[in-house]
Amino acid sequence: MPIPDFQTLMGPLLTMAQDGKDHSFQDCQDRLAAQFAVSDDERRIMLPSGRARLFTNRVGWAKTHLKMAGLIENRSRGVFRITDRGIALLKEHPDRIDLRILRQQRGYLEAREFKQKDKTGKKAIQEKGGPDDTQTPEEQIEAASVALRESLGAEILAKMKSASPSFFETLVVELIVRMGYGGTRKDAGKAIGRSGDEGIDGIIKEDRLGLDVIYIQAKKWEQTVGRPEIQKFAGALQGVRAKKGIFITTSDFSKEAIEYASRIDSKIVLIDGGMLWNLLIDFGIGVATVASYEVKRIDNDYFDEENG
């Protein structure tokens, strides 16, 4: 069963509090997970950014909307209780409570800051949420971020494929050094880009001291890299008694190639076009920041008068 969206969680969350007692957010999470058969593995699923768990985020936003509608109230940190308005609304809508119903509640729109004045001084209602009401604000932001990243990645991949072999070698050098390998950029530049020697395009230091080395194969290809190419590279590593290698390509690897690399004694890391452009973005190579946005959350310690 898929993880329920935050609107689906609103009614059950409010129902849990209908006894009028104090309820902890953590306890409600556990009970909702049991009610909707959300497994432990599913509860560990993170948002794309890796900053929060998806299920916790959705329960949190269900609680936030119920509070903005005046249906629950905070009692202490992480603890809430249903209000008289919440009890009354449950009686009116025992089957489902969602945004459509909450928007009918007095004070809810103001709490969400949906109202703003137009140029004539009259109040106009404008929703600031995303187009998909099943997603929490964080999910909407991160979905847009993923779409922008994938679009940027497609552009980077196209640029790499159309670039000259020497430029691709320079890009590989820059990435390796940014990741902390290859010693200095000068050292790595000398090591990469030589003519292939039995399937090896270059040798770099694993660390600045050169305590170990890594052998490189970098191919600006269009076609899928198959098992024979990985076998050739692995054989080249054995020929120089090497245990570590990186095979980089602008295309992808076949299933057989991936399986073969995972079974052999030598440690061969396969970097396909998708992984390559992700690394370039992560390490800021060939990209520039146009804008950045911060997502802030409340600092409960600051507003806790008891700690003052």
Residues 168 and 103 in one domain: no
Residues 105 and 178 in one domain: no
3-state secondary structure of 205: strand
Please tell me the distance from the alpha carbon of residue 159 to that of residue 166, in angstroms, as a whole number.
13
Q: How many domains does the chain have?
A: 2
Residues 270 and 161 in one domain: yes
Please tell me the distance from the alpha carbon of residue 90 to that of residue 82, in angstroms, as a whole number.
10
- Tell me what pLDDT residue 192 has: 63
CATH number, domain at 221?
Answer: 3.40.1350.10
Task: Say if 132 falls within a structural domain.
Answer: no
Does 179 have pLDDT greater than 50? yes
Burial class (CB in 10 A: 0-12, 13-18, 19+), 249: buried
Residues 168 and 276 in one domain: yes
CATH number, domain at 90?
Answer: 1.10.10
Does 158 have pLDDT greater than 80? yes
Give the pTM.
0.71
Residues 182 and 259 in one domain: yes
Q: Which residue has the tokens 């991936």?
A: 258
Asked whether the beta carbons of 204 and 183 are under 8 A apart, the reply is yes
Residues 161 and 248 in one domain: yes
Boundary (domain end) residue, out of 93, 115, 137: 115
Q: Which domain holds residue 238?
A: 155-282
Q: Which residue has the tokens 């905070």?
A: 74
Residues 273 and 163 in one domain: yes
Task: Say if 20 falls within a structural domain.
Answer: yes
- Tell me what pLDDT residue 112 has: 56
Boundary (domain end) residue, out of 58, 89, 115: 115
Q: Give the confidence band of 304 by pLDDT, cuts at 50, 70, 90.
A: low
Task: Say if 288 falls within a structural domain.
Answer: no
- The pair of structure tokens assigned to 6 is 């935050």
Chain segment 112-131, per-residue pLDDT in tens: 543 333 434 444 333 444 44
Task: Say if 297 falls within a structural domain.
Answer: no
Task: Say if 160 falls within a structural domain.
Answer: yes
Chain segment 26-75, per-residue pLDDT in tens: 999 999 999 999 999 999 999 888 888 999 999 999 999 999 899 999 99
Chain segment 127-145, per-residue pLDDT in tens: 444 446 788 988 998 889 9
Chain segment 71-106, per-residue pLDDT in tens: 999 998 889 999 999 999 999 999 999 999 998 887
SS (H, E, C) 60-84: HHHHHHHHHCCCEEEEECCEEEECH
Task: Say if 124 falls within a structural domain.
Answer: no
Residues 92 and 210 in one domain: no
